[in-house]
Amino acid sequence: MNELIKITYNNDRPAVSARDLHDFLEVDTPYHKWFPRMCEYGFTNGEDFLVTDNFVPNSAGGPQHQKDAVLTIDMAKEICMIQRNEKGRQARQYFLQIEKDWNSPEKVMARALQIAGDKLKKLESKIEADAPKVLFADAVSASKTSILVGELAKLLKQNGVDIGQHRLFRWMRENGYLIRRKGLDFNMPTQKSMDLGLFTVKETAITHSDGTVTVSKTTKVTGKGQQYFIEKFLAG
């Protein structure tokens, strides 16, 4: 099929320049008057056409500002009918053929395969980008060792999370994982955290020189808790 008017593709749909159509139709009215008049037939900017600002060479070879519009094939066909002349008939038949070709089973299948291929590439890229994070989280989940909150902060920092021990403690308190009330239970796991299995509390008996015994409590992050917090931070 001979190309009567250049066809472009806007969001994968065939489209045509309003100026190119104006030139082909050999309209006597200047473009800047003709196109607004065509729009009065009920066409909507953003749906039937999209106004564009272009720079084209002027007679001196420099850039010249020029307005144009990208038309849907449906709008172009209607404009051709409005002209009521041989050029309009030729252009309309041309657009009908373009539309028929674009809607052919082969072209529909080709577009579907292209879309599927693009989605697959994006998915593969995401899997590749996430692989280190996934491997890291999986390795942690397999760990049976509970670690200190400060050690968890170091692990996070090694994997790109900008956080230290004090900020991590504060974040856990502010988000309801550790008790924020000052007192003996300060920085101890909340009931919610214990129910989720995120922490354990290590109790150590300390015998002082006067014979008294006190119990020191240390919050430690379980393997499950390590995976939980790592996934939470790495997910952003």
d(CA 90, CA 146): 78
How high is the pLDDT of residue 141?
A: 52
Q: How many CB atoms lie within 10 A of CB 64?
A: 11
How high is the pLDDT of residue 116?
A: 81
What pLDDT tens digit does each residue of the chain (236 aa) get? 678 899 988 777 899 999 999 999 999 999 999 999 999 999 999 999 999 988 777 777 777 788 999 999 999 999 999 999 999 999 999 999 998 988 888 887 877 787 788 888 887 777 666 555 555 555 555 456 788 999 999 888 887 888 999 999 999 999 999 999 988 889 999 999 999 999 999 888 888 777 787 778 899 999 889 888 888 888 76
Exposure string (b/e) for 99-117, b if CB count within 10 Å is 16 or more? beebeeeeeeeeeeeeeee
Specify the DSSP class assigned to residue 104: S
d(CA 75, CA 35): 12
How high is the pLDDT of residue 37?
A: 94
How high is the pLDDT of residue 142?
A: 46
